[in-house]
Amino acid sequence: MRGTRMLAAVSVVALTSTLGACAPADDTPTLTWYINPDAGGQARIAELCTEAADGAYRIETSLLPRDAASQREQLARRLAASDRSLDIMSLDPPFIPELAEPGFLAPVPDELQSTDGIVQGAIDSASWNDELVTVPFWANTQLLWYRESVVEEAGLDMSEPVTWEQIMDVAAENDLQLGVQGARAESLTVWVNALIASAGGEILINPGTAANEIELGLDTDEGRAAAEILSRIGSEGLAGTGYPTADENASLSLFQGDSGSFMVNWPFVWPALNESAPEIADDLGWAIYPRVDADTEAAPPVGGINLGVGAFSENQELAWQAVECIVQPENQAEYFVTNGNPPSNTAAYDDPSVQEEFPMADVIRESLDLGAPRPQTQYYNEISLGLQSTWHPPGSVDPDATPQTSQDFITAVLRGERLL
């Protein structure tokens, strides 16, 4: 079955294990790589790079919490305390500016500064103040997934870019539902950001400035266009009764149901559907994220993981050598096939195993070049939580009021005038 290699990888390495625990005592330097939970892929790469180092270093993995906010909190606190054990870190892109601004990340050496062959979305998310401060590892993006039978019945040409209006019309006219993420969580920030960026705007106009100088682009035509989409989906019931609590998994469940039509979601849905609903997988199509305006290219969500080295690590030179090994295209290709996390290096997409396991690999690569990261700012936490507070529940979003209310609230929070 398609995707079985990836699903089998879950049992390859226990998530709580660390490599090197049984290694003999010697003088080989040990590097600790703090990883986000996966299906054992990062631990396997650590093992491969330890072998390739031929005694120069050994990599042990240490597991971070499952959710990104807890990962951020743990790493930020330890870096603020000048923790010397933070050699290599798998970092969620939105939190990189917060760690880079106070100097918590070691400078990326010249030999790793080249971005040739790296998808643009990953470059943008790995940078701060126009400088690469982390090294792209794997990237992620959302596609528009659809039921081919629904599209055929509606007569929609998916070989051409489609708009949110088109897919909302199809759903409304055929009593179908859309898979979107309306929960009060990071996924809502992801969606709002992608809509505003796809309309040609940006949530943060002047990144890198002090909190009291930040200018937001929410109370704009682009912000109102985003609000119109959330509002219509809610007012017409196009995402079902679970709209206010829907995360990525709930969206997938809705899509699998009898009323499923279109869904915006990450590539994990492909192996998941092959395992749980092969009949739906056989009816599955994919395309670039929907456009807000027919004449403006979509700006799909960008996620993934980039690799940073702690500024207080005693093994920075060796850590960067290890990072160079970790991000090799062959490692990224294997990681994609076994763990479902798309590469940041375009060469990895040409690997035959990638093309076999993920027939939509080329669309993912294209999407990552079009993608727009979430706001790059050291105040990302305040902006994201502020958005979640003011754009939720999404069905109650008012295009004439919410963008301004949200902008005023977040601005007041950044200036210390309001509390989250």
Q: What is the pLDDT of residues 42-67, one digit of tens each?
A: 999 999 999 999 999 999 999 999 98
pLDDT exceeds 80 at position 103: yes
Q: In the predicted model, what is the mean pLDDT of the chain?
A: 94
pLDDT of residue 11: 36
* Mean pLDDT within 106-130: 96
pLDDT exceeds 80 at position 134: yes
Report which of 340, 285, 295 is spatially closest to residue 144, judged by C-alpha positions: 285
pLDDT of residue 25: 52
Q: Output 162 or 6, whichever has higher pLDDT.
A: 162
As a whole number of angstroms, the distance between CA 302 and CA 288 comes to: 13
As a whole number of angstroms, the distance between CA 102 and CA 100 comes to: 6
* Mean pLDDT within 87-114: 97
As a whole number of angstroms, the distance between CA 44 and CA 46 comes to: 5
pLDDT exceeds 50 at position 40: yes
pLDDT of residue 19: 40
User: Is the separation of the CB atoms in 354 and 366 below 8 Å?
Assistant: no
Report which of 358, 338, 336 is spatially closest to residue 348, judged by C-alpha positions: 336
Residue whose token pair is 């943060």: 204
Q: Which two tokens stand for residue 86?
A: 């933070």
User: Is the separation of the CB atoms in 231 and 398 below 8 Å?
Assistant: yes
* Mean pLDDT within 347-373: 97
As a whole number of angstroms, the distance between CA 403 and CA 400 comes to: 7
Q: Which two tokens stand for residue 307?
A: 């690799």
* Mean pLDDT within 398-416: 98
* Mean pLDDT within 105-124: 97
Q: Which residues contact 46 (CB under 8 A, 6 or more apart)?
A: 19, 33, 59, 60, 61, 326
As a whole number of angstroms, the distance between CA 374 and CA 394 comes to: 19
pLDDT exceeds 50 at position 2: no
Q: What is the pTM of this model?
A: 0.92
pLDDT of residue 68: 87
Per-residue pLDDT reduced to its tens digit, 149-204: 999 999 999 999 999 999 999 999 999 999 999 999 999 999 999 999 999 999 99
pLDDT of residue 12: 36
pLDDT exceeds 50 at position 80: yes
